[in-house]
Structure 1
Amino acid sequence: MTPRRITIKDVAREAGVSVATASEAINGKGRVAAATRRNVVEIAGRLGYSANRIAKNLNAGRTGSLLLAVSPRPVEPGTGELQPEWDVEYYFRVQGGASLEAFRRGFLLSMLPAHDASRAFLSSADGLIVVDPREDDPLIEEAVRAGVPCVTIGRNSADLSWVDNDFYTGTSAALAHLDAVRPSRTALFLSETSSSYVRDELSSYLEWCGGTRCEPIIIRSPGPRVDEAEPAIHEALAAADRRFDAVLTTLDTLAHATERSALALGLELPNDLQVLSLSDSRSLDYGLRTPITALDLHPVRLGEVAVSLLLDVLDGGAERRRERVDISLNVRDSTLAD
């Protein structure tokens, strides 16, 4: 015989309180005396009561579903490919942090591909998190039109709440580290400039070049994947008139491509070339012959904060919030010259 599910009515009866009081005590709401709240929570645990999340969300007019999307370069629907940004570990770690925090708060979070066909799912979710939004981002515009609450990881131009890192200061610290190890002529290796974080990094790099009277050297990759980036950095490193001896990359995948190209050309890291990534990943620490120094953006924390911001909007918070997550520098062999 299947055991009967314990309900909030059972908890209330055992605790000698009303159903409303039991519900408020368990959910941490209402003006319930501390002793009563402790007693209700203890009884709920002893009876094995767990709140029915689906019913709770339906009672609040919600589906219990959140969406997370990476804004940049989409791919055509039906190709069987993820957009290339999902090859970058950072985004998976953001999603991991967001998923765990959403589940802890009673929601399930799903990845939303950025192409047009996926936008039909917007209306079936309670809210949307957009990572690295573009100026006048079409996905954000679609969410706003559909009345779907939205926050971003990275600054946005739509007056929505956001959480971000201080990329300008982080880039300055990275350049100072390269110069402190050994006075360097540093090139910036990037794949796009539409995201706010890349614009901050580029602005910081150009200001550093102006302050040190160094000529800016900017190398562009056609995309964020290692296989897209490697031909571009290989050509730059192999040039007979190469004018740089350090490379600062905006993504870990670009740093990976730089290390591979340097190795193929017989360049030793860090003696012949210093490499520093403005985004860290496990592959930069364990997956290369020379581990790469990198900025840790704490993506798991970014995902957690983004969910907190989104649920604040869902709960009626009218104030637009701006949150910052600290950056730390993980120094490895690629910048440890003699």
Structure 2
Amino acid sequence: MKEFDIIERFFNQKCHQRKDVIHGIGDDCAITRVPEGLNLAITTDTLISGVHFPIDTPPEAIAHKALAVNLSDLAAMGAEPAWYSLSLSLPEVDENWLEAFSTSLFELSRYYSIQLIGGDTVQGPLSVTITAHGFVPNESPLTRSGAKPGDMIYVSGTLGDAGVGLDIQKGKLIASEHCVQYLINRLYYPSPRLLAGTALRRIASSCIDLSDGLIRDIQHVLKASECGARIQVDKLPLSVALKESVDVEDAYSYALGAGDDYELLFTVSEENKGTLDIALANANISATCIGHITGIKQKLELRFEDQPYQSLRSGFEHFS
């Protein structure tokens, strides 16, 4: 099977269609229309076999995660998804693999009303690169740079599950049988918090998605906002599955330093707290206050029950 046969059979025919796509798959370039009053948010992520996912990861999970991590970036900017392009490198043509991959990809595409508009397919080591586009109102994008001293720090969902799932998958950890699938699914099938992102527009002062671990990612907010933070480690939200699978010290270590959660970390001023509570309740979004922003430039303090705390993990970083 040749390149264009792969594109036509597994990608073009299944593609979700949007009215703002003038020309999609099949031309040298895609042509799209940005609605008046909106700006275009663009993000790119690459997932490489053996680095971002274990070699034996199911194709359904690879497809879901590849798109979900880009959607998570859009969520962190308060953007609504519109289109994406896909660059897929394959060591060989495996029709069963491609069928499972493309089916999962388009299930998530349809759920979030995002259309595949082009890309590339090549032979090489297994990797997936997606560039996603979304719309954000002109006057209200979320950024990393707006946090102010006194702002409260929140995270959505629970933290550390994907890190435990990865160690289970690698055979480094044996967890309670009834927790295993939940934790591995949190690794394989992250849930981009797009509804939370749009709800936080005009409420949050800053926002970032948690891909490399809380400790690593909050540093980006502190650098961009030129401030510091104090995190109450004992306030970190932990799932029942995580707490049943590891001891307390390890649970907080995973929550602080393990990557792949794809939850949102955001800051909110005291005067916006009431508005936040209403917005979260109306959207049925779970979020937990875990600390506050300080005026000490780029200093991150960890506290456990008001005592200094030292984390065993510092997060993931390429080329470290």
Q: TM-score range by the shorter chain?
A: under 0.3
Identify, as 1 or 2, the structure richer in helix. Answer: 1
Higher RCO structure (Cα 8 Å, ≥6 apart): 2
Which structure: larger Rg?
1
Identify, as 1 or 2, the structure richer in strand. Answer: 2
